[in-house]
Amino acid sequence: MDLGLCGWRPIKISVLRSMTIEPLHLYLDWHCLRQKMLMQWTISGYGPALQYVLETKNELLESQPDVIVLAWRLQDVSPRLWFDFLSLSTAEVEQEIERIRLEFLQILKSLRGRTQVPILVNLFDRPNHLALGLVDVGHSQGQFRAILQINQMIIDTSVLYSSVFVLDFPAVVAKVGRQNFYDSRMGYVAQSPYTAVGWEALAQTYVRWFRSLFGANKKCLVLDCDNTLWGGIVAEDGIEGICIGGTWPGNAFTDFQRALKTMAHRGMILALNSKNEREIVLQVLQNHAEMVLREGDFAAMRINWQDKATNLREIAAELNIGMESMVFVDDNPAERDWVRRSLPEVAILDLPTDPSGYCDTLYEMWELDTLTFSEEDRQRNQMYRANANREALRQQMPSLDEFYRSLEMRVFCERMRPEIIQRVAQLTQRTNQFNLTTRRYTEAELEEWSNRKDAVIYTLRVIDRYGDNGVVGVGMAHLEEDRWVIENFLLSCRVIGRTIEDALLAWLVQVGKQLGAKAVLGKYLSTAKNNLVSGFYAKHGFKLQSRLDNGEEEWLIISTDYDFICPEWLEFWADGERITFTPARVA
């Protein structure tokens, strides 16, 4: 079945994220369906977005997305600015902001070197509690001001490239309320920071963007007059009797006209479609002191006693636009129904009965969203972009190696200490992707293993520019005669793709050699989730030795064939000592 023919649009989304965003999928899927979009998404691993962007083999881009979403949070991008703001000097704050700017610029530049699809990036929210407390917002050294500055930087950097759009994340939080949006329980327990209400609000906003990017936008608002533009019926109440301006309910109609005027400035065409005497409506437009909209604001007018569907057809013909670009606005449900039935292509704005809701209803109509608002606007953006390219040229793209170096990673490899045994058990139980055998261990089993003379458990802790990642890797090995068997080897998904695993493996092999092993045997057991590491031992020069009945693979390497190769960008510590190995064959 060709879904395209039924009006369903498949849309592929690639998400670069800095936190758990998986719960969003359910909500996004639902709101996409409501907009007749069939969503498919690919998400990056955790960690700095720049890392994923720089990788040459890049799942996110290879899936040929229709849109790229950068969903990032300040506490992940710069933990220091978020958690540790008052320890930073003014100069350090500036440096940190500049670093984020360069990183963002490099992300955009790298993406734009490979794809022209729209990129949607969010502004940062502020912490619930600002560093300086009450006075923070009004303080020149306040955290609030720094975050404003970063958000402004995001805007200024985004306009440098075409089709980079900025999503007002703080407004999404504000819409449902900070207390309803954040869920600190789930944040701590599962790094999933938002409530169901929060995910829902966020999904709506994203889908509103997707609809605007991929759906058809409307071009023309066709308006009724009585009780739509003003309160009352002008033919009965007279020009002086209608409600517009002043106090309630006139002020609501004034605001609605202002909103319509704003829509007109955005590029929306306005037209009138009213059952009235033409002369009397023209008199209101020309002479009523409180009117915001005047005759000249309307590109077409049908003020007569014809049925409104016929008028709509005539207006479309006069303006030379399709019926599907028109929105009909009328307070009278009977008129709306008539148009809905006669002209199903025309969108209807269902005004509430109470005019105090008119403005919100208009602004909340997703089909009225536009992405650019005038020719001038387009030109201005192009000017910005010309400057951008100049700037981008000066900023050389870092290589992945340089990126690794910029992370300032320090890796600490240690025999498992008793106080972290619980964390290690947790890692063996929860890690699914980068886990060579997915064997789960209890604390007691780990303790037993670590007490053996012929076995080791090594843990890996990583500290980088973003902070301390804690214990993120585990390697377990034991001697079987003269073979060093790596029984379990895993890495938390937070640090995948940073070459840290190479260091842990190298060190484990080194330890085996010291214990007299002649060969190293690595085990791999394929599961539904660990395909990521199916080639891990092959990549390090191991040869497939045997495949057991349970599907377990044994990979072998003669230990003299294997050098301790620690990537040069890692500062490597093992058992409390700084190890600086130059790669060399062990004789």
Positions that interact with other proteins (CB under 8 A): 20, 22-23, 26, 185-186, 188-190, 192, 196, 199, 430, 432, 528-529
In the bound complex, what is the minimum distance in angstroms from residue 208's beta carbon to other proteins?
22
The nearer residue to other proteins, 441 or 537, going by C-beta atoms, is 441
Q: 437 near 391, Cβ under 8 Å?
A: no
The nearer residue to other proteins, 185 or 518, going by C-beta atoms, is 185
Q: 285 near 271, Cβ under 8 Å?
A: no
The nearer residue to other proteins, 14 or 192, going by C-beta atoms, is 192
The nearer residue to other proteins, 201 or 309, going by C-beta atoms, is 201
The nearer residue to other proteins, 26 or 216, going by C-beta atoms, is 26
How far, in Å, CA of 452 to CA of 291, rounded? 88
Contacts 24+ apart (CB under 8 A), 36-40: 36/7, 36/8, 36/9, 37/8, 37/9, 37/10, 37/11, 37/207, 37/210, 37/211, 37/214, 37/215, 38/3, 38/8, 38/9, 38/10, 38/11, 39/11, 39/13, 40/10, 40/11, 40/12, 40/13
In the bound complex, what is the minimum distance in angstroms from residue 192's beta carbon to other proteins?
5
In the bound complex, what is the minimum distance in angstroms from residue 176's beta carbon to other proteins?
14
Q: 42 near 14, Cβ under 8 Å?
A: yes
The nearer residue to other proteins, 188 or 248, going by C-beta atoms, is 188
The nearer residue to other proteins, 113 or 177, going by C-beta atoms, is 177
In the bound complex, what is the minimum distance in angstroms from residue 526's beta carbon to other proteins?
15
Contacts 24+ apart (CB under 8 A), 567-572: 567/404, 567/499, 567/502, 567/503, 569/401, 569/404, 569/405, 569/407, 569/409, 569/499, 570/409, 570/410, 570/411, 570/499, 570/500, 570/503, 571/408, 571/409, 571/410, 571/411, 572/411, 572/413, 572/503, 572/507
Secondary structure percentages of the chain, helix, strand, coil, to 5:
45, 20, 35
In the bound complex, what is the minimum distance in angstroms from residue 17's beta carbon to other proteins?
13
The nearer residue to other proteins, 196 or 586, going by C-beta atoms, is 196
How far, in Å, CA of 372 to CA of 43, rounded? 28
In the bound complex, what is the minimum distance in angstroms from residue 501's beta carbon to other proteins?
21
In the bound complex, what is the minimum distance in angstroms from residue 190's beta carbon to other proteins?
5
The nearer residue to other proteins, 381 or 432, going by C-beta atoms, is 432
In the bound complex, what is the minimum distance in angstroms from residue 430's beta carbon to other proteins?
6
Helix spans in 37-78 (H): 49-54, 59-62, 74-77
In the bound complex, what is the minimum distance in angstroms from residue 414's beta carbon to other proteins?
26
